Structure 1
Amino acid sequence: MTKTWMITGASSGFGRIMTENLLARGDRVAATVRKPEALDELKARHGENLWIATLDVTNDEAVRQVVGTAFEAMGRIDIVVSNAGYGLFGAAEEVSDEQIRHQIDTNLIGSIQVIRAALPHMRAQRGGRILQVSSEGGQIAYPNFSLYHATKWGIEGFIEAVSQEVAPFGIDFIIAEPGPARTDFGRGLVAPKPMEAYEATPAGEIRRAIAEGTFEAKGDPVKMVQAMIDVAGQNLAPKRLALGAGSYTAIRKALVERLANLDAFKDVTISMDVDA
């Protein structure tokens, strides 16, 4: 059955692959990009099945306007894919105040505002699904990506709460958590000038690994996108979808360690209530 999708950040990476695949199978897509000419070829090929708008997700008013116009133009949008984002690569002490704010404004507040803008329209149409492209970095963390992780852990916490708020309206969520994949994400990394003090630390080690190519991205982005599409089309979809063998291993290890830590201090934890 043909579906209508809205995808932010559709000009490259996961967003571009998803837009191409959905159009190829006959679905309709409302795509947002920073530069509208990025999708000229697809527009020429697919015509009215592709609606394009320019959007910077850090502009709150523009987000509301573009999302509203997309719902009006498409009539109904079944699945909104919140995908726009980038990575800030540097130790917490190295990054600038401006870089921190832009990372949070884009990945966290931008995603929140896209979701908030979609909710009234989905309530009006009595249902819908939102697929948030997060990362394995929403449940684990690498040194040198502290601000990126702050946004991914943050958006996942937001969705945990808002999904409960809107479930009575037939709106649900999927959080996709891909591990390192062979997209152009690495070329989009923003990196401050490194501090010599971190050269012999885990931050320096991961910096060298990425520079030397030993931090290997094994994930196949085409397979990952197809999995997102397939799961988004299911009646009962999982809240979280980890993507990639490395993602599964890393997230499982982190969860087991977290649970072990919780259990190790169980007596302390449960003794904190007011005495009967």
Structure 2
Amino acid sequence: MRTVLVTGCGSGFGLLTALTLARRGDRVIATVRDPHAEGAQRLRRTAADEGLPLQVTRLDVTEPGVTEALEGTRAIDALVNNAGYILRGPVVTLSDDELRAQFETNVLGPVRLIRALAPHMTPGGVIVNVSSIAGSVGVPFEGAYSASKAALESLSAALRFELRPYGLRVVLVAPGNYSTSIRGRSRQAAAFTRDHRDHEAYERFWAAFDGSLAGRGDPQEVADAIAGAIDDPEAVYRRLVGTDAQFIYRLWHDNSQEDFERLVTDALGLGR
């Protein structure tokens, strides 16, 4: 039985991942910011009803005392850094505080967990960092989120070199656009009001994107990919999940930035 700590289990990929791992027999420490929220209560009810080896623990990855909060739970076999959120708005509208908060959760949060737990993991342990296709491709009006995921990916690449001598693996799971609550819980820059000159372009972009390949997959695919990354000692570094993520990554990888921008603009009908 593995012991796995998963962050951001109050909803979406984190909740599904915690249940998926527990149902197959892993001992799961499912962390949430608010232990009284509906998602946390759902996890507790399901664990009790099904007799799952799952405990719900309060953990805010942005708190400086996160290391102390992990005392007694350091002997884990796998860590899934899933907690995160999306900050929306043109880059020029983002305040310093909004940018700091985005990186505090999406970048510093995972680093805090890795710093606290990796030295105590035994050979064969694995760290799964949940990124996004946005980590490779800069998404319009989500520049801060894209930058935070790109930073997480660069840190993950460095960690693979640094932790390999200790028998630890680092894997990225990069989903596309799934119908989870993360978009509903996205935060909008305070200065990006409806009368902002870019708001119409923002609405057109997301209407076109959501009407294309996006959001058609089952979020369970991401939970299964995370479980697979934990299981497979030969797992590839970047696991793209979702037809849109795979398509967009290939399009970006095989073209110059200029050509990629033209192709996306044409595909979404934004050039007309």
Question: TM exceeds 0.5?
Answer: yes
Residue 29 of structure 2 aligns with an amino acid whose one-letter code is A
Q: State the match for 1:19 in structure 2.
A: 18
1:105-144 counterparts in 2 under 5 A? 105-122=104-121, 125-144=122-141
1:3 deviates by 2.0
Residue 153 of structure 2 aligns with an amino acid whose one-letter code is E
Distance verdict in 2 for CA 1:140–1:12, change over 3 Å:
same
Q: Determine if contact 2:222/2:241 at 8 Å carries over to the other structure.
A: yes
Secondary structure of 1:93's counterpart equals: helix
Q: Determine if contact 2:88/2:186 at 8 Å carries over to the other structure.
A: yes
1:257 and 2:255 matched: yes
Name the larger-Rg structure. Answer: 1
Q: Determine if contact 2:172/2:239 at 8 Å carries over to the other structure.
A: yes
Residue 133 of structure 2 aligns with an amino acid whose one-letter code is E
The C-alpha deviation readout for 1:189-238, integer Å capped at 9, x for no partner, is: 1012335221454x45325557xx63641231012211221232012111
Deviates more, 1:190-199 or 1:232-241: 190-199
1:111 deviates by 1.4
1:180 deviates by 0.2
1:10 and 2:9 matched: yes
CA distance in 2: counterparts of 1:169 and 1:90, whole angstroms: 41
Secondary structure of 1:9's counterpart equals: coil
The C-alpha deviation readout for 1:122-165, integer Å capped at 9, x for no partner, is: 1xx33410000000111112100000001000010011112101
Q: 5+ unaligned residues in a row in structure 1: which ranges?
A: 262-276
Q: State the match for 1:198 in structure 2.
A: 198
CA distance in 1: counterparts of 2:255 and 2:73, whole angstroms: 43
Q: State the match for 1:60 in structure 2.
A: 64
Q: Determine if contact 1:144/1:207 at 8 Å carries over to the other structure.
A: no
Q: Name the Cα RMSD after superposition.
A: 2.3
Deviates more, 1:102-111 or 1:38-47: 38-47
The C-alpha deviation readout for 1:161-194, integer Å capped at 9, x for no partner, is: 1210110000111100000011111111101233
Q: Determine if contact 2:17/2:223 at 8 Å carries over to the other structure.
A: yes
The C-alpha deviation readout for 1:53-77, integer Å capped at 9, x for no partner, is: 2111111322x12334312xxxx42
Q: Determine if contact 1:82/1:131 at 8 Å carries over to the other structure.
A: yes
Q: State the match for 2:142 in structure 1.
A: 145
The C-alpha deviation readout for 1:30-55, integer Å capped at 9, x for no partner, is: 11101223133134236682233211
Secondary structure of 2:170's counterpart equals: strand
CA distance in 2: counterparts of 1:259 and 1:198, whole angstroms: 22
CA distance in 2: counterparts of 1:228 and 1:43, whole angstroms: 20
1:170-209 counterparts in 2 under 5 A? 170-192=167-189, 193-194=192-193, 196-199=196-199, 201=201, 203-207=202-206, 209=208
% same residue = 31
1:93 deviates by 1.6
TM-score normalised per structure 2:
0.84
Residue 151 of structure 2 aligns with an amino acid whose one-letter code is G
TM-score normalised per structure 1:
0.83
1:82 and 2:93 matched: no
Residue 184 of structure 1 aligns with an amino acid whose one-letter code is S
Residue 68 of structure 2 aligns with an amino acid whose one-letter code is Q
CA distance in 2: counterparts of 1:36 and 1:139, whole angstroms: 33
CA distance in 2: counterparts of 1:169 and 1:104, whole angstroms: 28
Q: 5+ unaligned residues in a row in structure 2: which ranges?
A: 260-272
Q: Determine if contact 1:53/1:66 at 8 Å carries over to the other structure.
A: no
Secondary structure of 1:60's counterpart equals: coil
* Number of residue pairs aligned between Structure 1 and Structure 2: 250
1:25-40 counterparts in 2 under 5 A? 25-37=24-36, 38=40, 39-40=43-44
